[in-house]
Chains A and B, each alone.
Chain A
C-alpha cells in the first residue's frame, strides 16, 4: 500500500542523485582544470561548492524531519539514515574537488616539469570509484557496492607513488617545490575522493543488505 508520505523518501533519493551528479561534475572539472591549468574552470568548481553544501543541509533537514514525523522502521530507517551518511560523503568529495581547484589557482598557468606522475591514472580511478558508488546506490546493486571498497588499495598505492615521486622531484628541482607540494596535496585529495566513494559503497551495502562492512565488518564479528 502506498503511503501519502512515500514521496518524501523519493524526494530524498532525488536530492542524493542530484548531489552525486554535482560532485561528479565538480571532480571531473577540477581534474581537467588541474591538467590544463584552467583557472576559469577551477573558479567554476569553487563556485559550485556552496550548492553542494546547501544540498547536504537540505538532505539532513529532510531526513531528520522524516525520522521525527514518520517514525520509520526496518528498511525505511536505513534509507533515511543512509541518505545523511551518503550526503556527508558527497559533501566531503565536493570539498576535495574544491581543494584541487584551489591548488589550480595557486599553480596558476605555470606548470612544473614532469609534473603529473600518476595523477592522470589516479584521477581516472577516483572518478570511476565515485561513479560506481553512485551507480550502486541508484541501481541498488549490492554486489557492486560490496566489491568497490576493495579497489581503494590501488588509489592508495598510486597516491603513495605520487607522494614519493613529487618529494624526489622537490629535492631535484627546488625552485618548483611550492608547485610540487600543491600537486602532492591534489594527489591526496584524489585519494580521499576514492575513500569517500568507498564509504558510500559501504553505506549502500548496509542499505541493501543490512550488513555493516565498516572496519572490515567488525559489527558482525
Chain B
C-alpha cells in the first residue's frame, strides 16, 4: 500500500505491487495512515521514514528482531510514547480515521478510548473481574447497573471468557490464570468501544493452550476491530494476521499479505528473518 521507494541504504521497501493510483485509493480508504514518519529517542533515531497504511477490520502483524522499532511504532498509534520524555516524532504524520493524531486538537483520552491496547504482560486491576470491565465505563460516568451488567457480559463473551468466569464475577481478577487475565485485559479494552486494538506481544507470557485461545479470539475480533499485533512468534503472525510488516533497524523492510510474506517474501532480509537464518 505504501510507495515502493529507495531507502537510504539502497534497499527497496517492498510493499504490495500496486499502481500509484491503487496505492492512493488504498491510502484514502485506510483506517491508519502513516506517512514519512521519523521517530527519535533523544538523539537516537528509532524509526526511519515509515510509510504504512492499514485497512479497517484487518489484522496487521509487526515482526522483526528486538530493537527494530515495531513496538515504538505501535505505541505511536495511541500516543503512548508521549509518556517517554525523550521520545519525539521529528517528521511525518499518523492519521487515524483521517485525523492527524499528533495535532494539538486531539484529545488523548478520547484517542486512547478508540485505540485500545493490550500489553505483553497482563495487567488487570487488583479488583473484581466485574470491576475490571466496568471500571472504564464508570469513570466515564456510566452508573446504570443494567447497562454495566450488559457491557460486562458482552465484553466477557466477546473475549471468550464468559463461560469460564460467569459464576465468579466478584472474585479478584488477580486469581485468574495468566491466559484468562490476558483475555480479561482484551475484554476490558473492548468495554470502551474502541475501533482499533493494539497488541504488544500479547501471548509471550502464555502457555500454548492460552495462546491458542487468544489467537482464536483475535480471529473473531477482526470482524469488529482493526488489530495491530507485535509479535516475536513468527508462526503466530502467520496464523492470525492478514498483512505482515517486517521491520529491521527502524526501517520497514517489507509489507505485504501474510500469505506472500511467509510463502514468497520479496526481500532477502525478510526471508532470512522468517526462516531463522538472520545474522
Contacts and interface: CB of A to CB of B under 8 A. Distances in A.
Interface of A: 1, 3-5, 64-65, 68-71
Contacts of A71: 235, 238-239
Given A68-B263, A69-B259, A69-B262, A1 B235 contact: no
Contacts of B220: 4
A71 B211 CA distance: 15
Nearest to B274: A68
B32 to A, nearest CB: 24
24 contacts: A1-B209, A1-B212, A1-B216, A3-B212, A4-B215, A4-B216, A4-B219, A64-B263, A65-B259, A68-B238, A68-B259, A68-B262, A68-B263, A69-B238, A69-B239, A69-B258, A69-B259, A69-B262, A69-B263, A70-B238, A70-B239, A71-B235, A71-B238, A71-B239
Contacts of A4: 215-216, 219-220
Contacts of B215: 4
A18 to B, nearest CB: 23
Nearest to B240: A4
**Which of B213, B216, B258 is the most central at the interface, judged by chain A CB atoms within 10 Å of its CB?**
B216
Interface in B232-247: 235, 238-239
Nearest to A69: B238
A145 B212 CA distance: 34
Contacts of A68: 238, 259, 262-263
A65 B258 CA distance: 10
Nearest to A4: B219
B209 to A, nearest CB: 7
Contacts of B238: 68-71
Given A69-B258, A69-B263, 9 more contacts: A3-B212, A3-B216, A4-B215, A65-B259, A68-B259, A68-B263, A69-B259, A69-B262, A70-B235
Interface in B254-278: 258-259, 262-263
A69 B238 CA distance: 5
Contacts of A69: 238-239, 258-259, 262-263
Contacts of B219: 4
A71 B239 CA distance: 9
A64 B239 CA distance: 14
Contacts of B258: 69
**Which of A64, A69, A70 is the most central at the interface, judged by chain B CB atoms within 10 Å of its CB?**
A69
A1 B214 CA distance: 13
A58 B19 CA distance: 28
**Which of A1, A64, A71 is the most central at the interface, judged by chain B CB atoms within 10 Å of its CB?**
A71
A3 B213 CA distance: 9
B218 to A, nearest CB: 9
A71 B235 CA distance: 6
A180 B220 CA distance: 63
A3 B215 CA distance: 9
A70 B239 CA distance: 6
Contacts of B239: 5, 69-71
Nearest to B258: A69
Contacts of B209: 1
B75 to A, nearest CB: 27
A5 B215 CA distance: 11
A68 B271 CA distance: 12
B213 to A, nearest CB: 8
A4 B212 CA distance: 10
Contacts of A3: 212, 216
A191 to B, nearest CB: 38
A69 B220 CA distance: 18
A60 to B, nearest CB: 12
Contacts of A5: 239
Contacts of B212: 1, 3
A141 B259 CA distance: 34
B255 to A, nearest CB: 17
